[in-house]
Amino acid sequence: MVKYEVKMTSIGKDAPAYLESNSSFILLNEKIRPSLADMVVEHTVGELVADIAVGDKLNVGKSEFEVVKVGSAANKNLREEGHCTIVVNSEATMPGQIAVKGIRPPRLRFGNEVKFYTED
């Protein structure tokens, strides 16, 4: 079951460096907060049809990850603004973060699909 599915529409100029240095990237609905555009990955507006949970999968382009932790505010923020921070192969410590594990960090590219789903 697909829980949330969007496409990347803009990669902020600082987003790739942030992914490299902090093992994370920030998702946000497109054009919702122009002041943050340089640091976030903007995407089409999507609907969160079910809460993201530990054990779910995340696809970013051709990369697949397993969700290992969901911050207490992450689902609410995704539902309201398409906003969360994805932490890759590292510890999530903030309420708006979702930690995932995978082979390597994803490539941030215009048009890449971002999809959370469960195999149940």
The token duo for 26 is 């920030």
Name the domain count of the chain: 1
**Contact residues for 49 (Cβ-Cβ < 8 A; gap 6+):** 1, 2, 3, 4
Instruction: Please name which of 73, 115, 79, 63 lies closest in space to residue 98, comparing C-alpha atoms.
Output: 73
Model confidence pLDDT, tens digit, residues 16-70: 999 999 999 999 999 888 888 999 999 999 999 999 999 999 999 999 999 999 9
Question: Distance between CA atoms of 17 and 57, rounded to whole angstroms?
Answer: 24
Host domain of residue 90: 2-117
**pLDDT given for residue 119 in this prediction:** 87
CATH of residue 82's domain is: 2.40.33.40
